[in-house]
Structure 1
Amino acid sequence: MTPDRETTGPDLVVMSLEPWDDVWRRNQYLVAGLLRERASARVLFVEPVSDPVHAVTRGARPRPGRGLRPAPEVEGVGPRRLWLLEPTKMLPRRVAPHGDERRAAVVVGAARRLGLARPVLWVNDPYGATLARVSGWPTLYDVTDDWTAAARGPAESRRVADSDRYLVENAAAVTVCSPALAARKADARSVVLVTNGVDVERYRRPAPRPADLPAGPTAVYVGTLHADRLDVGLCEETARALDGIGTLVLVGPVALDRDDIDRLRRAGVAVLGARPFHEVPGYLQHADALVVPHVVDEFTDSLDPLKLYEYRAVGRPVVSTPVAGFRDTTDPRVAVAPADGFAAAVRDALVESTRGPTLEPGAGLGPEPDAEPIPTWVRQVALMADVVDAVRRPAPTPR
């Protein structure tokens, strides 16, 4: 903590791209860390809307949003300091085009109910631009994905671009998670780089082998299964290349279409689904290789994969396509292979693992001694706290 940093407040409203659940991501690690550091701060964490109509079109069970409610217990954070809000999107944009305004009104109303008079607005979802305009709250824009580069329809691409432009131009501060994002935003304004991190000690603490991890050698991927990132065809090819040698295992929330999931399972991929964040180290520690079969394009080049730090913390062999972060690390346990050589590289990694000595759980964990340091969440929380303080207390206007 820097000497002049405050240890109280400020209250925050966080517009998140992901829900607060057991699958922890950047927002949860940073928010929980800030709440532990700031004894009196409170947070209203705004989750993505529940969309019953969209759920029906995907064959899922529709449900309304869960509204305003206290968060489940978080270690080191007192009760009723963290609140969750899941609004409901009743109709598609083409039928009800002012959904962002309605959501903004719901968020402002919830903040008033909690007594958050003038919170700092932390926007992770670009559609939070409407809330920034409506509320007038001092705003921090935390850019973790370049959604302007994602493959979307023309109308949605325009909306995202407009929202992103407004936030970049008008937020009191802009943070980015990757050097690529910093370079992309540099023409518009100065930004602060706050990469992802990892709780190194927790990932190196020996964990039991998960009961649902397939027997035999495994190549494990941990992360959200989303077509914007995961190369489904490459996963199929890799699973077939491992036939008779081992199993490709995907651990994480499933955001793929049913057809893609069926394709993966027919190829022999073990799709395990989401697992609580405290169970993730066990899957990584007991993998024979860790893999990143990602699409390589302009969108994935904007990312700072959380798994880069989690994989490196456990010190297992890694095979990745040449995506940002993995292709740049000097960690000698990380091998980068293009798509046309990826399956063979994973197969070779598993074959090599069967030739080495069998390690007890937790033995040999950690990176090579000469690898670059791994950013920790403690450090990244401190960086973000400095930015929040600057947004809370903007520089005085020159006379």
Structure 2
Amino acid sequence: MTGRTGDTTAAVAPPGTPGTPPGGDRRDLVVLSLEPWDEVWRRNQHLVAGLLAADPGLRVLFVEPPVDHLHDLRRGASPTLGRRLRRLGPDDGAPAGRAWAYRPTKWLPRRLDPSGDGRRARTVARVARRLGMPDPVLWVNDPDGAAVLDTTGWRALYDVTDDWLHAVREPAELERTRAAEALLVERCAEVVVCSPALARAKGADRPVTLLTNAVDVDAYRTPLPRPADLPDGPYAVYVGTMHADRLDVEACLRVATHLRSTGSRLVLVGPALLDPLDLTRLDAAGALVLGPRPAALVPAYLQHAGVLLVPHVVDAFTDSLDPIKLYEYLAVGRPVVATPVAGFRDQPADRVTTASPQNLADAVVRVLAEGRPTGVGPAPADVPRWSDRVREMQAVLSRVRASRPAATPR
């Protein structure tokens, strides 16, 4: 069925099909994610995949952020449409028959289509009903998911991974985010935060649960061959989403220029969401932007690096983060050089070298010149594992299921 906005759904098998537990043993979860379910795994995928593996009665509808083709055009990317409801399976890291992903399309800016959020929220509710999920638990990671909570009244948790109130945005967008977050904090049975800074900010007026990020330690400590697309010789690598909210482009340019003068390279691995001009400048400075790589291959890029780099902007927004790369970098045990951002600045000097954005390049060159052998190095014993976080999230979800509905559905 296609609605006026182009949101689409595909026919799905009824709840009684193979792979679906009987209704009495079934636990349904709708996740409103800030990222799509793809090969670049983030917090949501690690947790949801772990929950599915641990609970054979769990079924999940994973709602990806809407495709915004006008925004794509503005940043020079090819426009794409939302994807029909699709089954997730073992190739996606999920058990067969118990997980689906859906991505709607945002056709117009909110100022031209103010009812778009509500319309997409009703579509999410319809998709859930078609999957036989009349009363799921709602897991909100994207603050825009407040519209789904307001529409459905489902029992809900708000998983806060970024303090968007400190992001650089237009005043109207910040005000909209502030209103959405106020609704979520008021009506959700549980609020989960990923960092101590978020615990202080969001826990001022209500209880919150601190559930930091983690890493699959075994995957990152299993030696892997050097990826063929890496440059010859030593390199420093940054693994993560390249976005102006986080990445200090000017610091990266200085690092790339300094490394090129020593015969080394800066390598950037991850989704490249920067302005095309910034990507051109990085290329001219000698940086190698590889783009996203499947999660299973990421440890190899870290294991063979001379330096693991964190060239993040230092501001209130990044101070709210709990970077997954902190745990990935620590698990690999390679030298780390970072700007003084949350998580990294608290590590002892034998684990992380911190430097200001202006002095970052000198620090990288200095550490790289030490010539430490590549490969898996010593890792601290206290690196948290995703399996620990899955157990903690199971407890949160149990409390949400036992709570009262958030509100009367609209």
For Structure 1 versus Structure 2, the TM-score category normalised by the shorter chain is over 0.9
Q: 2:106 aligns with which of 89, 102, 107?
A: 89
Map 1:218-297 onto structure 2 (within 5 A): 218-245=235-262, 246-297=264-315
Q: Is the 8 A contact 1:204 1:366 kept in 2?
A: no
Residue type at the aligned position of 1:161: R
Residue 302 (structure 1) aligned with residue 320 (structure 2): yes
Is 1:319–1:337's contact at 8 Å kept on the other side of the alignment?
yes
Q: Deviations over 1:63-120 (max 9, x none)?
A: 3201211124257743121100100112111111111101101100000000012110
Mapping for residues 35-50 of structure 1, pairs under 5 Å: 35-50=52-67
Distance 1:395 1:167 in 2: 15
Residues of 2 paired with 1:157 and 1:92: CA distance? 15
After superposition, the Cα gap between the structure-2 partners of 1:185 and 1:170, relative to the gap in structure 1 and judged at 3 Å, is same
Q: Mean Cα displacement is larger for which, 380-389 or 56-65?
A: 56-65
Which position in structure 1 is the counterpart of 2:3? none
Q: CA deviation at 1:375?
A: 0.7
Equivalent residue of 2:85, what SS?
Answer: strand
CA distance in 1, matches of 2:26, 2:304: 41
Residue 119 of structure 1 aligns with which residue? 136
Asked if residue 379 in structure 1 is aligned to residue 388 in structure 2, the reply is yes
Provide closer, same or farther for how the CA distance between residues 70 and 196 of structure 1 changes in structure 2, counting only shifts above 3 A.
same
**Please, which runs of 5 or more residues in structure 2 have no aligned partner?**
1-23, 406-410
Deviation at 1:10, TM superposition (A): 2.3
Note closer, same or farther for the CA distance 1:196–1:74 as it changes in structure 2 (3 Å cut).
farther
- Separation in 2, partners of 1:32, 1:12: 12
Q: Give 1:55 shift.
A: 2.3
Does residue 195 (structure 1) correspond to residue 204 (structure 2)? The answer is: no
Counterpart residue number, 1:366:
378
Letter in 1 for 2:313: V
1:337 matches 2:355: yes
2:20 maps to none
* Contact map agreement 1:168 1:188 (CA 8 A) in 2: no
Q: 1:211-266: per-residue Cα shift (whole Å, max 9, x none)?
A: 11111111000000000000000000111111232111100001101011011111
- Where do 5+ consecutive residues of structure 1 fail to align? 1-6
Deviations 1:346-374 (A, max 9, x none): 00011112xx4x45x44xx331xxx4601
Q: How many angstroms does 1:321 deviate by?
A: 0.3
> Partner amino acid for 1:115?
G
- Post-superposition offset of 1:60: 2.5
Find the aligned partners of 2:336 and 2:298 in 1 and give their Cα distance.
Answer: 16
Q: Does 1:163 align with 2:171?
A: no
CA contact (8 A) 1:13 1:46 kept: yes
* Contact 1:10-1:392 within 8 A present in 2 as well: no
Aligned to 1:4: none
Which amino acid in the other structure matches residue 399 of structure 2? A
8 Å contact kept, 2:38–2:92: no
Q: What pairs with 1:61-210 in structure 2 (closer than 5 Å)?
A: 61-74=78-91, 77-210=94-227
Give % identity. Answer: 55
Residue pairs, 1:344-363, within 5 angstroms: 344-353=362-371, 356=372, 358=373, 361-362=375-376
Q: Quick check: 1:330–1:372 contact (8 Å CA) kept in 2?
A: no
CA contact (8 A) 1:235 1:264 kept: yes
Q: Distance in 2 between matches of 1:103 and 1:207?
A: 43
Q: Helix, strand or coil: the match of 2:344? A: coil
Contact 1:143 1:177 in 2 (8 A): yes
Comparing 218-227 and 93-102, the one that deviates more: 93-102
- Tell me if 1:392 matches 2:375: no
Q: Is contact 2:88-2:95 (8 Å) kept?
A: no
Shift of 1:341: 1.6
Quick check: 1:32–1:74 contact (8 Å CA) kept in 2? no
Structure 2 distance, partners of 1:395, 1:154, is 34
- Number of positions where the alignment pairs a residue of Structure 1 with one of Structure 2: 381
TM-score where L is the length of structure 2: 0.90
Q: Separation in 1 of the partners of 2:355 and 2:78?
A: 40
Residue number in structure 2 paired with 1:321: 339
CA distance in 1, matches of 2:334, 2:93: 30
**Aligned letter for 1:366?**
P
TM-score (norm 1): 0.92
State the Cα distance separating 1:394 from its structure 2 match.
2.0
